[in-house]
Amino acid sequence: MRALDGDEKEAKRQAILDAADALFAKHQNLANVADVAKAAGLAKGTVYLYFQSKEEIYLALHLRHVEQFFTRLIGRLESDQPFGFDEMQSLAQEHILDATTYLPLGACCIGFAAGAVAKEASAHFQARLTAWLEAAGQGLERHFQKLPRGEGVRLLQHSYAIMVGLHSLLREARSVPKCEGMGTFQDEARLALTRYWTHVARIDESVKPRAKK
């Protein structure tokens, strides 16, 4: 109808993602495009003016989840307030482990068929994620003096992997444990992260915020 400038276009993109988010939260499933469009008050075809495919909608939505977490984490790491594992974990808990859609949607995105997502979209996702990881990794290295150069990113990646992997094994174990002796998904994730960080950063004994420069 009228040419949208960049801001309006972005606003509409976000509106579509809001709709998709709500539907995913409700059905734990990738709603079909018609439903997303309807929920966003648009026609099916219009959605395709903003996203190239259904998969890209959900990848973009997932990216938004990821962004929220990293924005918060990086923001926190940029301050000079002492930052320890407990705080890290509570951030992860809040944004990732306890969030009802973060990991389930992530799991769907992982399963996207090869080729279902355009190269550029995929690359864009990777680029943003990489940038956040590196920024946050460097932030961690600032706060934890024992972390050698590059270990911050690795620590984040491995931690993230633990959460993702445990989720895929224990997705139904959000409330009820699967195996004899195992806890809920959240319990196990907390435990595994604690162990991993304990080893890597010797948080318990020696990792302390570096002195201000």
Partner DNA sequence: AATGAATGAGGTTTCATTCAT
Partner DNA sequence: CATGAATGAAACCTCATTCAT
Q: Which two tokens stand for residue 103?
A: 């990991």
Binders of a copy of itself among residues 167 to 206 (CB under 8 A) are 168-172, 178-182, 188, 191-192, 195-196, 198-200
Phi first, then psi, for residue 207 (nearest 5°) are -75, 120
CA 92 to chain centre: 9
Please state, in angstroms and rounded to a whole number, the distance separating the CA atoms of residues 2 and 20. 25
- Collect all residues with Cβ–Cβ distance below 8 Å to 178 and sequence separation of at least 6: 169, 170, 172
Q: Closest approach of Cβ 159 to a copy of itself, in Å?
A: 9
Residue number, 8 or 204, with CB nearest to DNA? 8
Residue 134: contacted member of DNA, a copy of itself, none (CB under 5 to 8 Å, by partner type) = a copy of itself
Binding mask 106-135 for a copy of itself (x = CB under 8 A): xxxxxxxxxx----------x---x--xx-
Q: Closest approach of Cβ 86 to a copy of itself, in Å?
A: 18
Residue showing tokens 């994730």: 189
For the chain, the helix, strand and coil percentages under 3-state DSSP, each to the nearest 5: 70, 0, 30
CB-based burial of residue 141 (10 Å sphere; 0-12 exposed, 13-18 middle, 19+ buried)? Answer: buried
Residue number, 17 or 201, with CB nearest to a copy of itself? 201
15, 36 contact by CB (below 8 A): no
53, 116 contact by CB (below 8 A): yes
Q: Closest approach of Cβ 183 to a copy of itself, in Å?
A: 9
Q: Closest approach of Cβ 119 to a copy of itself, in Å?
A: 11
Residue 198: contacted member of a copy of itself, DNA, none (CB under 5 to 8 Å, by partner type) = a copy of itself
Residue 82: contacted member of a copy of itself, DNA, none (CB under 5 to 8 Å, by partner type) = none
In this structure, which amino acid lies at residue 185? Answer: F
Per CB under 8 A, residues contacting a copy of itself are: 27-30, 106-115, 126, 130, 133-134, 137, 149-150, 153-154, 157-158, 160-166, 168-172, 178-182, 188, 191-192, 195-196, 198-200
